[in-house]
Amino acid sequence: MYAVWKLCWSNLIIKKVQNSFIAIIIMLSTFLLTTAVLVINNTNRVYEDMHAKTHGAHQILRLENGIHDPGQVHQWWAAQEGVRASDMMRYRYLSSMSHAGEEIPNVDLFMMNTPQGPYSVDKLLFVQGEERKAPEPGTAWIPTSLAYSNDIKVGDPIEFKTDKGTFQLRVAAVVIDISYCSPFATSGRIWMNDQDYDTHMSPLHGGDMYMIGLRFDDYSQHRAYWEGFARALGGPYLESVKDFESISSYYMIANRIISFIMVFLAVVMISVALYTLGFTISDAILSSYRTIGIIKSIGLTSRKVVSVYVSQYTLIALMSVLPGIGLSFFFSNQIVNSSMAYLNTGTDRNVQFLELAIWVGAVVIAVIFLSALLFSYKAHSVQPAQAIRYGMSEKKGSRALGMESTWKKKLLKLGSLPIEMVIGLRGIRKNARGSVLILVISALCTAVLVFGFIFVYSISSIHGTIGKWGYDSSDLSIRIDNPAVLSYDQLREDVLTDVRVKNYSRYGDANAVLPLNQELSAGKNQDTMGILLTVAEGNYDEIGYENIKGRNPLNDQEISVGVNIARSLNIDLGDPVDIYIEGVKHTLTVTGIYQAIANMAYTGRITAEVIQEGSRDDESVMNTVFINLQDGVSIEGFVNELHLRYGSAIGTASQAALVDEVFSQAVMILILPMSIMILLFLIITFVIIYSISRINMKKESRTYGIYKSIGMTSRQIRMSVTAGIFVISTLGALVGIPLGLTGLPPLLNFILADYGIVKVPLIMNGAGVAAMFPLSIMAACIGCWLASRSVRTTSPRILTME
């Protein structure tokens, strides 16, 4: 055993640089894989812990259309064992909020009449401000999602616009409202004092709406409660329900994307590390063939020779995995804190060092151990007599001479190339396994660089593809806030007929319920499915709504549905769908299927004529106008002109402002992890090619000594070697570009499919792709150039003798 450890330690000392680079590859692979595991588990943990701490709702009922009696609904749920029901909370909708003189775009506000605490469901956690049972008169509590994203602090005045005018409230507290403070969400609950609610909200047009939060002791049993509830109602519940999956989805989506990409890249990196390990061990056995023969001839068994290499690389893995796990703790902490910032109570939150992370490290070590055992097994075949005589097996020696003769013949055909290029190409052909590895790592590195750039660029430039994400792509929107000052008919006559207006469409939304048949309801654990409908008066195509299949609806007999609706109901183009829209049953034909990130694509699109057939007045539904302007017309100038003419009677926002409000946080969350992963692959490319080049330099030392003895300078030799690496890495980069553009995006489609995006809208940027192309080549060439420094300081005589 002493001899095994002595040889193992000797290999570690003699090949310090090579072993260090293997250690770096293993460490970075462990880092990526462990970070992904920690991010996924801690994201779930942080949310679940906060959800339990605040007694978060599993479902939220919104009774807005007068279809069911709110008192009867609340009474039934409050009487059920195993269910906690919140108070029956009154609220009204507003869509205008200003801070520091600037209107906050794209907000949907639930102006809540705050019940007296304590709250049995959705307890509010106070992050800033004094905790009270209810806000004082003239003040309000706002969620962290609105406060953090708009830099609103306690004591700041905020202004709201209604059809009766404007009113101000002072922010008395910033609270974590678990059901309405997720990232990317545009809705939030504003908690008002009872007197302020009666003063400012009760006089508004329409009646009060009611919200009831439900928390189940066992959420998996909620279907049984809903069956009993339907029997009590005498039919299906036809108002709006927000499920737990929808409540939690936006907390998880960013980290799921990051973690999925990390796991994929970690697996790729580990595969490359294993291939590099196999290459290194094979080369070590071949370069020490005669030594192994001598050792075996004096009595060391093949098993002990194999154990030398297994011990060596297992020890390297042990030393590499621990810092990789430690580094992942810091990095995953940054990702989780960034994506879960709206649940931050102000105290330090650290990622839990899960036992699973230790298991990940143990798996990596086990894989390295088994790989080292597999690759070093060829030491069994070393025959002492052949090894001592030939320095390799007799068969391999004969084949090498034949290959050399063939290569010399091929070199004669390359006489027109510079001598440096000929020598470089000879090195590629002679070291085939190393060349294949360089080709693969260059292709993978370029693919990751291209994909990472395209993905981040597409998210940061999402306004160019916003229609493919399920939103409109109109130039601006106008919302009438005071119908007494400006009616829709007056707006149409004064503004929408302006020659600068290219087209327009009036827009709104409505709640709907889809009944599920028995087979589908068994799979969904429910009898109905609540969805949000987009309602448009005009042409959906003109305002930029897109479908991935079929077309938008054109009349009152048609509907376009989100991909998750189509998948849940197993419907396709041309199929009829029974749907209750605000209590009125319709049978509509599916004309289109679209993807949407909002509401996880559990949505639909109908024309305004469908609503006009119902019991509600379409004026209460159609509350926004989307406008496209003629080419060359300034959007900002047009908006300023509207404000000068109508003042606070309207609210306007450009499409770019609305998009930035929703997706700017996504860019900030994604940029750091993607940048780190791109940097890691560049480092891996450099490390692997440096290591391969050093191995090849030692193998070819006698040849390079001959080159120097006949007059070639060290620089010429180094240029020759680097030229060969340049050729093979360029080929790899050329393969990597289409792989990054077409091979990796389907993996992203897979992870986002449940969130309503089945084909991620990526924006191709030729200049950016061109900028990514040379990076892996540069890393490869720099690694090779630095590895060849030994030629510069070694004499021809020593090189030839080696």
Given the DSSP bridges, would you call strands 165-176 and 139-143 parallel, antiparallel or unpaired?
parallel
* Contact in structure between 89 and 212 (CB atoms under 8 Å): yes
pTM: 0.78
- Kindly report which listed range (41-45, 369-373, 530-534, 685-689) carries the lowest average pLDDT score: 41-45
Section 441-459 average pLDDT: 87
Select the more confidently predicted residue: 318 or 615: 318
Section 246-251 average pLDDT: 80
CA distance 709 to 698: 17
pLDDT at 223: 83
- Kindly report which listed range (129-138, 376-385, 417-426) carries the lowest average pLDDT score: 376-385
Tens of pLDDT, residue by residue over 211-223, are 999 999 998 888 8
Share of the chain above pLDDT 70, in %: 85
- Examine the pLDDT at 5 and tell me if it is beyond 90: no
- Examine the pLDDT at 723 and tell me if it is beyond 60: yes
**Would you place residue 306 in the very low, low, confident or very high pLDDT band (cuts 50, 70, 90)?**
confident
Three-state secondary structure call for residue 366: helix
- Partnered with residue 168 across adjacent β-strands are 159
Q: DSSP per residue over 229-274, as a string?
A: HHHHHTS---SEEEEHHHHHHHHHHHHHHHHHHHHHHHHHHHHHHH
Tens of pLDDT, residue by residue over 143-200, are 998 888 888 999 999 999 887 778 899 999 999 999 888 877 778 899 999 999 999 9
pLDDT at 161: 84
- Kindly report which listed range (40-49, 205-214, 522-531, 687-696) carries the lowest average pLDDT score: 522-531
Section 373-397 average pLDDT: 59
CA distance 529 to 512: 8
- Examine the pLDDT at 537 and tell me if it is beyond 50: yes
pLDDT at 60: 92
pLDDT at 143: 92
- Examine the pLDDT at 735 and tell me if it is beyond 70: yes
Tens of pLDDT, residue by residue over 72-89, are 999 999 999 999 999 999
* Contact in structure between 596 and 586 (CB atoms under 8 Å): no
**Would you place residue 135 in the very low, low, confident or very high pLDDT band (cuts 50, 70, 90)?**
very high
Computed over every residue of the chain, the mean pLDDT equals 81
- Examine the pLDDT at 407 and tell me if it is beyond 50: no
- Examine the pLDDT at 129 and tell me if it is beyond 80: yes
Section 764-778 average pLDDT: 89
Tens of pLDDT, residue by residue over 220-237, are 888 888 888 888 888 788
- Kindly report which listed range (56-60, 483-487, 723-727) carries the lowest average pLDDT score: 483-487
- Examine the pLDDT at 380 and tell me if it is beyond 80: no
- Examine the pLDDT at 615 and tell me if it is beyond 60: no
Q: 59-68, 555-564, 637-646, 667-676: which has the highest mean pLDDT?
A: 555-564
pLDDT at 661: 67
pLDDT at 521: 47
Q: 24-28, 58-62, 484-488: which has the highest mean pLDDT?
A: 58-62
pLDDT at 390: 46
**Would you place residue 604 in the very low, low, confident or very high pLDDT band (cuts 50, 70, 90)?**
very high
pLDDT at 19: 78
* Contact in structure between 108 and 187 (CB atoms under 8 Å): yes
Structure tokens at 456: 């981040």
- Kindly report which listed range (482-491, 575-584, 634-643, 736-745) carries the lowest average pLDDT score: 482-491
pLDDT at 226: 87
**Would you place residue 353 in the very low, low, confident or very high pLDDT band (cuts 50, 70, 90)?**
low
* Residues near 403 by beta carbon (within 8 Å), at least 6 away in sequence: none
* Contact in structure between 609 and 506 (CB atoms under 8 Å): no
pLDDT at 412: 41
CA distance 240 to 510: 10
pLDDT at 731: 92
- Examine the pLDDT at 528 and tell me if it is beyond 80: no
* Contact in structure between 161 and 94 (CB atoms under 8 Å): yes
Section 565-593 average pLDDT: 90
pLDDT at 401: 45
Taking Cα atoms as reference points, which of 94, 104, 96 lies closest to residue 152? Answer: 104
Tens of pLDDT, residue by residue over 288-302, are 666 666 666 666 676
DSSP-derived secondary structure letter, 142: E
Specify burial of residue 631 (Cβ count, 10 A radius: 0-12, 13-18, 19+): exposed
Section 593-607 average pLDDT: 89
CA distance 257 to 269: 18
Q: To 10 degrees, what angle do helices 714-738 and 766-787 make?
A: 150
CA distance 568 to 588: 17
pLDDT at 749: 86
Count of other CB atoms within 10 angstroms of residue 2: 6
pLDDT at 713: 82
Q: Which residue type occupies 317?
A: A
